Structure 1
Amino acid sequence: MSTTRRFTQLDVFTAEPLKGNPLAVVHDAQGLSDAQMAAFARWTNLSETTFLLPPTQAGADYRVRIFTPDRELPFAGHPTLGSCHAWLAAGGRAQREGEVVQECGVGLVRVRRDGTRLAFAAPPLRRSGEVDAATLAQIARCLKIPRDAIRASNWVSNGPHWVAVMLGSREELLALQPDFAAMGELELGVVAPWPGGAADVEVRAFVPTLGVQEDPVTGSLNAGLAQWLIAAGMMPPRYVASQGTAMGRAGRVHVEQRDGDIWIGGDSVALVEGRVSL
């Protein structure tokens, strides 16, 4: 027998509706099976759908499970911010003043208010360091660019298995038309500088393994990129990333290194609120 549950659909990493990355949130998801969650995520056909549950770990305010149309993720960025926004809007109260603690597959993730927006503390990288020559050659093939067009690279895996490369210009980045079949199992982030632009860098995320070819705005990727780029001295401790331009979006990711943590912030806007029968 189905039960009606509170439902919210938001646009994340934007203050302007329809310009960010959409997220579906099912509240009070107790009693739903893994199969039901996966089926609903396939039905929404969004890059991610989340399910809010009571926490199971001490110190957590709520637990979230994150599903793509294809599989469950241990962590993702825009679902973290959007889920927290929806939880707070539904009356959620954190145990600690000014900070919400989310439980998810990678453990506990802290979320704080940053003015009018929320920001999460980037989780530790599960894999970092140099990218091997064979993988770089594959990346160049699937992006259909010369190998020497890749100016820098690094593994930035933090749940999703991100590998990242930097190109020389935003124009090169926006011109990319990848061969997704050649991408295989790669989850690929591409970044390029945007001197004098509306943001400091432009980002694109190609993730055919998740059932979507390109993700509009990607918190987990930007978290990994920030840890790499700031540590390498390639970006300052505070910067703004633009993402989604190639898809007609205008996502903005606000990055700040503070007190030993890297915070990934963004606005969220609720577009649909109601109840869903599951």
Structure 2
Amino acid sequence: MARRYAIYDVFTANRLEGNPLAVVFDGDGLSDAAMQAIAGEFNLSETVFLQPPQKTGHAAKLRIFTPAYELPFAGHPTVGAAVALAEDGRSFDDKDYDLVQMLEENVGPVRCAVRGRAGEATFAEFDVPRKSVRLDAKFDRQAIADAFSLKATQIGFENHVPSFWSAGVPFVTIPVHDVSAAAAVEFDAAQWEQITPIAEGRLAAAYLYCRGGVNHAARFHTRMFSPAMGIAEDPATGSALAAFSGAIHSFDRLIDGHHPFLVEQGVEMGRPSLLHLHIDVSGGEISTARIGGQAVKIAAGELYL
């Protein structure tokens, strides 16, 4: 059976930048083992399989796989799948459009808005399905520095310290002094696996961040490493950004209101990505968070399975 697929570069308007994603349109009838094997064949940070929705009115059910295992939720597959579903069957001369999709993920239903404009890369934004919560963990600053070939004095800035958060997928958020410190990182996967905590049945990934960025509009510069997922480094990580929203609110003490953030990632990999994060705070707590970005198709074909 031939199954259609497309490759999208996500969280970018430029091909060969951002985070590449494989979207398998005809994912129904595939076993878990087959989907895992296909994800290994593509060998991208994530592959998403589109299946018929379980609830009438929803756009699709998403199954998301890294090269190592299935995820309950991930940001760049959500954005990429939403754009792929919106663009599928449309011609490039179609009129501008705005639509809302409900996507079913293992974490739960995810509401996603899509905006298509002539001459522009399609933009999609989703409501973070689970609020970021802080998990219990203690960290040794020197051990973290050693895992990233940094000095202990380069870990942390202002009141920001390493902390542990999850919005469906767990991440240790690690503040570093500045962009030059982030660029100097040499990640030691073996050392990281010795010190990283376990949550939700898996080793936590590392999400480094600092203020500012190479892009003058960026509020934060980030990098993500996850050897347990089979990902040496990821160019753009929406699930990490969802977790990071809790750290931003906690350390920066966001006041009630709306707070937009532009976050860059993938710069050191030569795959610059721009992620849009919006946090709404009410009564001193995060009421909603949204993540969005653009995506562009770079390839399409068929799987013969």
Name the TM-score, length of structure 2 as normaliser: 0.82
Q: Distance in 2 between matches of 1:63 and 1:165?
A: 33
Q: Distance in 1 between matches of 2:57 and 2:251?
A: 33
Q: Distance in 2 between matches of 1:231 and 1:182?
A: 28
3-state DSSP of counterpart to 1:227: helix
3-state DSSP of counterpart to 1:276: strand
Name which of 7, 10, 22 aligns with 1:9: 7
Q: Distance in 2 between matches of 1:30 and 1:54?
A: 7
Equivalent residue, structure 1, for 2:242? 223
Equivalent residue, structure 2, for 1:123? 129
User: Where do 1:218-257 residues align within 5 Å?
Assistant: 218-233=237-252, 237-257=259-279
Q: Distance in 1 between matches of 2:184 and 2:236?
A: 17
User: Where do 1:24-63 residues align within 5 Å?
Assistant: 24-57=22-55, 60-63=58-61
Q: Distance in 2 between matches of 1:90 and 1:6?
A: 11
Equivalent residue, structure 1, for 2:209? 191
Encode CA deviations 1:237-257: one digit per residue, 9 max, x unaligned. Answer: 111011001101110001112
Distance 1:111 1:34, change over 3 A: same
Q: Distance in 2 between matches of 1:114 and 1:193?
A: 29
Encode CA deviations 1:75-98: one digit per residue, 9 max, x unaligned. Answer: 111011101111122259xxxx83
User: Where do 1:22-171 residues align within 5 Å?
Assistant: 22-57=20-55, 60-91=58-89, 98-113=99-114, 116-125=122-131, 127-129=133-135, 131-134=137-140, 136-151=141-156, 152-171=161-180
Amino acid of the residue matched to residue 209 of structure 2? V
3-state DSSP of counterpart to 2:252: coil
How far is the alpha carbon of 1:277 from its aligned partner? 1.4
Amino acid of the residue matched to residue 100 of structure 1? Q
Kindly indicate whether the alpha-carbon contact (under 8 Å) linking 1:13 and 1:266 is maintained by their aligned counterparts in 2.
yes
Q: Distance in 1 between matches of 2:169 and 2:125?
A: 19
Amino acid of the residue matched to residue 221 of structure 1? A
Q: Distance in 1 between matches of 2:292 and 2:270?
A: 21
Distance 1:158 1:181, change over 3 A: same
How far is the alpha carbon of 1:113 from its aligned partner? 2.9
Superposition CA RMSD, Å: 2.3
Kindly indicate whether the alpha-carbon contact (under 8 Å) linking 1:155 and 1:162 is maintained by their aligned counterparts in 2.
yes
Encode CA deviations 1:119-153: one digit per residue, 9 max, x unaligned. Answer: 1112324641564135x554222112233432222
Encode CA deviations 1:176-218: one digit per residue, 9 max, x unaligned. Answer: 1111111113410000011782412110001111112101111
Q: Distance in 2 between matches of 1:125 and 1:261?
A: 8
Amino acid of the residue matched to residue 133 of structure 1? F
Amino acid of the residue matched to residue 267 of structure 1? Q
3-state DSSP of counterpart to 1:40: helix
* In the alignment, structure 1 residue 273 sits paired with structure 2 residue 273: no
Q: Distance in 2 between matches of 1:247 and 1:215?
A: 9
Equivalent residue, structure 1, for 2:119? none
3-state DSSP of counterpart to 2:36: helix
Amino acid of the residue matched to residue 192 of structure 2? M
Kindly indicate whether the alpha-carbon contact (under 8 Å) linking 2:130 and 2:168 is maintained by their aligned counterparts in 1.
no
How far is the alpha carbon of 1:276 from its aligned partner? 2.0
Distance 1:41 1:22, change over 3 A: same
Distance 1:261 1:125, change over 3 A: closer
Give the percent of matched residue pairs that are identical in Structure 1 and Structure 2.
35
Kindly indicate whether the alpha-carbon contact (under 8 Å) linking 1:14 and 1:266 is maintained by their aligned counterparts in 2.
yes
Unaligned runs of 5+ in 1: none
